[in-house]
Structure 1
Amino acid sequence: MFKYSNLFGGCAKIIQKSNARFISFRSIKKLYSMYFNKTIETAKPPYDFICQVGNPILRQKASLIDIKEIQTVEFQKTLDHLYKVLRESDTVGLAAPQIGLAWQVFVIELTEETLKDVHPTIRLHCQIEPQPLTYFINPEMEVTNSEELIFHETCGSIEYFHAEVARPKEIQIKALDRFGKSFCWKAEGWLARIAHHEMDHLKGLLYTDRMFPLTFEYNNWDKKNNIDEEKNIIK
């Protein structure tokens, strides 16, 4: 729901930026149009892409799925679609809100093929293990080892950036599988990180809410800025 405080906050920022004592009618009109005359989004959920930060759906708390809905053809097709977007986006975890659905659902798959280029030392240090395709419906998570591990994270909804994030070492999730059967899943290390990350999406949280701010960087910083070390200038 739109809050007028956002509009007033935007006005305040314009005042501060321009160091003016008042705002012209033209400025207010422009700001008003920014908020109220947005382009109507043609794509409707479930999206064929991963929506990006700024989309309100990513800040909503996801709703529980009625167990009666799980057996429907439409719901099963949506689960398949979620997995399809995961594969096409070359990611290992994806939550329903990321394709425009405020549902308590996410999927994880971490194959040996995905890990083939990861050095054994890194796999051991980060506790990276493969995970077959697994759907989590109405998941409930419990932290079973609160020791925190700090590693860089990325997110399909915050493309081209990464940051260091602390996550619990071990977790346990109770959920329903794609057919409505309850199961208990335990994970540690990297898989625990992935699951914790996806659980955040269901709460309307992003890794930027947990990150160490000074570690937030653009993935291709060196290439884009093209630093000339000899001249010590940025081209």
Structure 2
Amino acid sequence: MPMNDADAHVAAQIRAVLAAAEAGGGVAPIVEAGDPILRQTTRPFDGQVDDAELAQLAEVMRATMLAAPGVGLAGPQVGIGLSMFVAEDPGSLDPETAEVRQRSPMPLRVVLNAEYTPATSENVAFFEGCLSIPGYQAVVARPRSIELTGVDLNGTPIAEVVAGWSARIVAHETDHLDGIMYLDKAEMRSLSTNTSVAKFWNQPSTQQAASELGFTLPSSMLL
């Protein structure tokens, strides 16, 4: 059956990114805020390219993410309207930060057709950033754990609960697939440059930032 125009367009986007990465040392350019593709709903993966090209795309996205550096990257961020993201997190080197933020290492995962729902009513709020909005961070309240569904590169269904900082990363990337950026959900009074976060708000929790910048944390985080 011939591919419809929307899927053919996605296939062309994938091949353009692969070509750009080949010319760019294995990494692709990252799309920044203001590009319409970041506000569009992605197409589910449905065989727009073959397995070899899909695996190659996953490799390019991971290389691009690590080079940035970052811990997650979604299809729209490299100019592809495909429901796909990669994520990998080495975790926190500071034990107190790791405990407060529930940040443990997350091995590489590649997820297609991802969706999530809260697995708890408890929200937690921390600074996060985005490779498509370089130089800034803001506090975002997200569920402490989420239920993730999708498929992996082999087409194996995914249905699992993801918790802690890994849940934050997965939710952030999955939001991209629906045209949602983290600033849409952020406490805008918390918006800070990376330099300011490092200077003023590098504590494990966001209590001090909330107090001094004037925003409210979820009730579960209040002392």
Amino acid in the other structure paired with 1:167: R
Structure 2 matches for 1:194-233, cutoff 5 A? 194-221=169-196
Secondary structure of the structure 1 residue equivalent to 2:55: helix
Give the Cα–Cα distance (whole angstroms) in 2 for the partners of residues 211 and 109 of structure 1: 23
Give the Cα–Cα distance (whole angstroms) in 2 for the partners of residues 222 and 178 of structure 1: 36
Given the two structures, how large is their TM-score scaled by the length of structure 2?
Answer: 0.73
Off by >4 Å, runs of 4+ in structure 1: none
Give the Cα–Cα distance (whole angstroms) in 1 for the partners of residues 166 and 105 of structure 2: 8
The 1:183–1:221 alpha-carbon spacing in structure 2 relative to 1, beyond 3 Å, is closer
Structure 2 matches for 1:52-63, cutoff 5 A? 52-63=32-43
Give the Cα–Cα distance (whole angstroms) in 2 for the partners of residues 106 and 222 of structure 1: 26
Structure 2 matches for 1:80-229, cutoff 5 A? 80-111=59-90, 115=92, 118-221=93-196
User: Per-residue CA shift, 1:152-171, capped at 9, x if unaligned?
Assistant: 11110100001111001110
Aligned length: 176
Secondary structure of the structure 1 residue equivalent to 2:145: strand
Give the Cα–Cα distance (whole angstroms) in 2 for the partners of residues 138 and 182 of structure 1: 10
Match of 1:51 in 2: 31
Contact 1:71 1:179 (C-alpha < 8 Å) held by counterparts: no
Q: Which has the larger radius of gyration?
A: 1
User: Per-residue CA shift, 1:160-203, capped at 9, x if unaligned?
Assistant: 00111100111011111111111223211111111110111001
| 1:77 corresponds to 2:56 | yes
Amino acid in the other structure paired with 1:178: L
- Of all paired residues, the percent bearing the same amino acid is 31
Segments of 5+ residues of structure 1 without an aligned counterpart are 1-43, 224-235
- After superposition, the CA RMSD in angstroms is 2.0
Give the Cα–Cα distance (whole angstroms) in 1 for the partners of residues 164 and 98 of structure 2: 10
Give, in angstroms, the shift of residue 219 of structure 1: 1.6
Amino acid in the other structure paired with 2:17: P
Give, in angstroms, the shift of residue 69 of structure 1: 4.3
Segments of 5+ residues of structure 2 without an aligned counterpart are 1-15, 21-27, 199-223
Given the two structures, how large is their TM-score scaled by the length of structure 1?
Answer: 0.70
Give the Cα–Cα distance (whole angstroms) in 1 for the partners of residues 132 and 109 of structure 2: 21
User: Per-residue CA shift, 1:39-93, capped at 9, x if unaligned?
Assistant: xxxxx53561221101111111111010x34653222211111111111112111
